[in-house]
Structure 1
Amino acid sequence: MPDSRISIGIIGAGIMGERLLRAMLAETPELIRVSGIWDPSPAALERIAAALPEVPRLADAAAIVAASDCVYIASPPASHLGHARAALAAGKAVFCEKPLAVDVADSRAFVAEAGARGAVNFPFASSPAVASLRKWIAEGEVGAVSRVGIEVAFATWPRSWQADAASWLDRPAQGGFTREVVSHFLFLSRRLVGPLHGLDASADFPEPGKSERRIGARLFAGDIPVELTGSVGTTAKDDHNIWTLEGDKGAVRLCDWSIAERRLSDGTWQRAPDAMPNEQARPLALKRQLEGVARLARGEPNHLATLAEALNVQEVVEAILTR
C-alpha cells in the first residue's frame, strides 16, 4: 500500500534540527515520514546515528531535497536562503528555522520570488498559551489595546544548553539573543497586534567579536506602541521573558514562553487554568506546528508564520542590531 505520509528531510543536525526530528518521530508518525537528515559536521551526524539509528543520514543537502516533499532548514542563518532556494527550485515546500536570514535585501528578494510554498518556525503560531491570550482578547478582557511590552534577560549568552553552538550563536554576524529570542516576541506582537514599523533602537556590543549584551527599542505594531528591553547578566535565570498586552479594560501577558496570565481588577495576575511549564507545552506546540507543515507541503491553508511575517520580524531585528 502506498505511503501517503508527507516526507520531510532535515538540513542541520544541531539543537533545533534534532528537536524537530524527535517531535516528528514521537508526535506525528502517522502524518509525517522522516526522509533523512544531513549536516556538514560528521560529529553531528554521528550523534544522530547513535541516538536515532532508524533515521536515514543522507550524503548532502541535494540528497535531502531530492528525497523530500518538504525540507526543514535548521542550519545557521546565513545558509538558510541558499538551501531554501534549492528546495523551491525542485518543487519542494520549505519550513525554515528563524531567523529567515540575516541579509535583509536577499530576504526581500527571496520572499518576492517564493510564493506560498514556504513558512518559518515561530512556535508561538501553535502555542497553547497564545491560544489562551487570544481567547481573553476576543472576550474583551483587554479592551482597546494601548501598549505592548517585551522584556527578555539571560544569565549568560548563549544559554547553558546552547554552549555547543557558541561558535556562531555568540557572534555578531549570525548570533545574539535578539535574533534567537527577541524575534519570537516580535512575531507574537505582529501576529496579535499588527505589522511592525517605526523603530527607534540601540544595541550594546561591549565585547569585541561577541554578540550584543543589551538592547532597547521603541516601535509600533500597527498603531500600538511597543517597548522592548533585553540584556545579558541581569538575571540569575537561564532565560527570563515577559510579553505584555495592555488595554483600557485590563491586561494579559505571556511569561517564560508558556504561562498565560490575565490581570484581575485587584491588580493581581491569574494563570490560565491549563497553564504548564515550557517543557510540557513544547511537545503540544511542536505537534501543531508539524500538522501545519503537512498542510503546507500539500499546498493547503495553514496557520504557520508566513515568509512575509518572518521578513518583517527580520527587518526589525537587523535594524536593532545596526543602530
Structure 2
Amino acid sequence: MTTDVIDSGIGTIRAGILGGGFMARVHRDATRAAGGALIAVATTDPDGSVRASAALGAARAASDASELISSADIDIVHVCTPNASHVPLATEALRAGKHVVCEKPLATSAADARELVALADQAGRVAAVPFVYRYHPMVREARARVRSGELGDLLSLDCSYLQDWMLLPEDDDWRTRGALGGPSRAFADIGSHLCDLVEFVTGDRIAALTARTRTVFGERAGHPVDTEDIAALLVETASGAIGTLLVSQTAAGRKNALTIELHGSRETMRFAQERPEELWLGSRRESRMLLRDPGVSSSDSARLQRLPAGHPMGYQDAFDAFMADVHSAVAGGEPEGLPTFADGLRAAELTEAVLASAADGGRWTEVAA
C-alpha cells in the first residue's frame, strides 16, 4: 500500500494570501506541498504587504486586499486576517469568482456565515474552512471504526481543548477585543475545532447544551477584555449521548491539548492531538494503543499517510492534506471529509448557542441540526 499523499491530478493553482502572520505561513507551506504557487500577499498596508510578501516568498506584494482579489492570476484566496474581516473579504473574493479558504471562525455571527454559505453555493466556488484536525490519520481511523460499528452506540463523551497562552494578565492579543475577534474568543477559536471533531468522528450532532463561561482577567496589558478565557459545556447529542466539553486558554502547561474520548456500548476510543500517532481503544476485556500504520489502516486514513509507520506525522502534515483536498475540489473532485463553509456555519451556530446559554445562567439551549 502506498504512503504517498493522493495526487490531486491538476495543474498549478495560483494562490493569494491575505494576512502575514503564523497562519499565513502555514497556508503558504500547505499550498506549496499541494503543488500550488504563492503569487501575491496583501496585508493592511502596502509596506506591510511588501514585508510579508518577502517573508513568505511570494512572487509579488499586492497593495491591498482588493488588488489581490481582483488579480487575474489568482485562482484561490486565503483569508488569514482578524476574525471581523473574514466576511467582507470572503464575500469580495467569491463575488470576484475566486475559490476561498477562510480561517475560522468563518464569521462572528451565524447570520453572516449563512449568507456566505449561500453566496458560495451561488458562485459555484470551492469554499473551505481549515478544520484540519480532521486530517490526522488516526482521526480518520477512529471515524472509520465508529462507522463500522466497533464503538457500538455512543453513550457518553469526555472532551477538551486546553491551551495556556493566555494564562498571565500580561498575555494579550487582538482576539481579546470583540471589535476584532468577535463576541467569543476561546470557544470560537478552539472550541469550534473540538465540536467539529466530535461531530465529524461520531456522525452525531450536538442537539442541546448548557454552558458557563469565564473571563479570568477583565484587563490585559492595559486593554479591557470582553471575550471569554474558558467555556465549560454539558451537551446532549441527537442520539441521546451526554457529555462534557471543557475549553480553556488558561490551562497552565497545556499547549494544544485537544482530546476527544468517546464511550460506546462496545468500546471506548480516545484521540489526543498532542499524540497524533496514537488511538487508544478500551473494552471490558482489554485496553490497547493502536499506532498509525498505513498497512493496516482504513482506506480513508491510509490515503492521508504520507510517511511510513514509525515516521511521525503532525499538524503541518494534516494541514497539507487538507490543502491537497481543497485543490482536488477545485479540479472537480469530491474529497472525503473536506470542511466547507457549511461547517463554518455550524461552528457559528454552536458559538451563539454557547454564548446565549452562558448569558442566561447556563440555560439548556437547543441547537438546530
**How big is the shift at 1:93?**
1.2
TM norm structure 1: 0.85
Q: Which residue of 1 aligns with 2:84?
A: 78
CA distance in 1, matches of 2:103, 2:347: 13
Q: Which residue of 1 aligns with 2:229?
A: 213
Among candidates 255, 260, 263, match of residue 282 of structure 2: 263
Q: Which residue of 1 aligns with 2:209?
A: 199
CA distance in 2, matches of 1:206, 1:52: 36
8 Å Cα contact 1:246/1:252 also seen in 2: yes
8 Å Cα contact 2:94/2:120 also seen in 1: yes
Q: Is the alpha carbon distance of 1:21 and 1:234 closer, same or farther for their aligned partners in structure 2, counting shifts above 3 Å? A: closer
SS across alignment from 2:162: strand
Q: Which residue of 2 aligns with 1:144?
A: 153
CA distance in 1, matches of 2:253, 2:290: 23
Q: Which residue of 1 aligns with 2:24?
A: 17
8 Å Cα contact 2:190/2:247 also seen in 1: no
CA distance in 2, matches of 1:158, 1:59: 37
Identify the range of structure 1 (245-254 vs 298-307) with the bigger mean alpha-carbon deviation: 298-307
SS across alignment from 2:105: coil
Q: Which residue of 1 aligns with 2:259?
A: 242
RMSD of aligned alpha carbons: 2.9
**How big is the shift at 1:152?**
2.4
CA distance in 2, matches of 1:265, 1:113: 50
Q: Is the alpha carbon distance of 1:256 and 1:301 closer, same or farther for their aligned partners in structure 2, counting shifts above 3 Å? A: closer
Give the residue type in structure 2 aligned to 1:292.
Answer: D
Segments of structure 1 that go 5 or more residues without pairing to the other structure are none
**How big is the shift at 1:139?**
4.2
- Counterparts of residues 163-202 of structure 1 (less than 5 Å): 166-173=172-179, 174=181, 176-192=185-201, 193-202=203-212
CA distance in 1, matches of 2:47, 2:165: 26
8 Å Cα contact 1:199/1:316 also seen in 2: no
CA distance in 2, matches of 1:52, 1:152: 30
SS across alignment from 2:255: coil
Give the residue type in structure 2 aligned to 1:131.
Answer: R
SS across alignment from 1:305: coil
**How big is the shift at 1:261?**
2.1
8 Å Cα contact 1:152/1:231 also seen in 2: yes
Among candidates 99, 123, 131, match of residue 122 of structure 1: 131
Give the residue type in structure 2 aligned to 1:33.
Answer: A
SS across alignment from 1:183: helix
TM norm structure 2: 0.75
Among candidates 62, 69, 85, match of residue 66 of structure 2: 62
CA distance in 1, matches of 2:209, 2:58: 48
**How big is the shift at 1:312?**
1.2
Give the residue type in structure 1 aligned to 2:63.
Answer: A
**How big is the shift at 1:187?**
0.8
Segments of structure 2 that go 5 or more residues without pairing to the other structure are 1-9, 219-223, 294-304, 359-369
- Counterparts of residues 276-295 of structure 1 (less than 5 Å): 280-295=313-328
Give the residue type in structure 1 aligned to 2:38.
Answer: V
Among candidates 132, 143, 146, match of residue 134 of structure 1: 143
SS across alignment from 1:36: strand
Q: Is the alpha carbon distance of 1:52 and 1:14 closer, same or farther for their aligned partners in structure 2, counting shifts above 3 Å? A: closer
Count the aligned residue pairs. Answer: 313
**How big is the shift at 1:42?**
5.9
CA distance in 2, matches of 1:15, 1:207: 25
**How big is the shift at 1:4?**
3.4
Identify the range of structure 1 (34-43 vs 238-247) with the bigger mean alpha-carbon deviation: 34-43
**How big is the shift at 1:95?**
1.2
**How big is the shift at 1:158?**
7.3
CA distance in 2, matches of 1:58, 1:261: 47
CA distance in 2, matches of 1:131, 1:292: 14
Q: Is the alpha carbon distance of 1:202 and 1:169 closer, same or farther for their aligned partners in structure 2, counting shifts above 3 Å? A: same
Among candidates 345, 356, 360, match of residue 311 of structure 1: 345
Q: Which residue of 1 aligns with 2:113?
A: 107
Identify the range of structure 1 (43-52 vs 230-239) with the bigger mean alpha-carbon deviation: 43-52
CA distance in 2, matches of 1:167, 1:234: 17
SS across alignment from 1:238: coil
Q: Is the alpha carbon distance of 1:319 and 1:44 closer, same or farther for their aligned partners in structure 2, counting shifts above 3 Å? A: farther
CA distance in 2, matches of 1:50, 1:8: 15
8 Å Cα contact 1:153/1:231 also seen in 2: yes
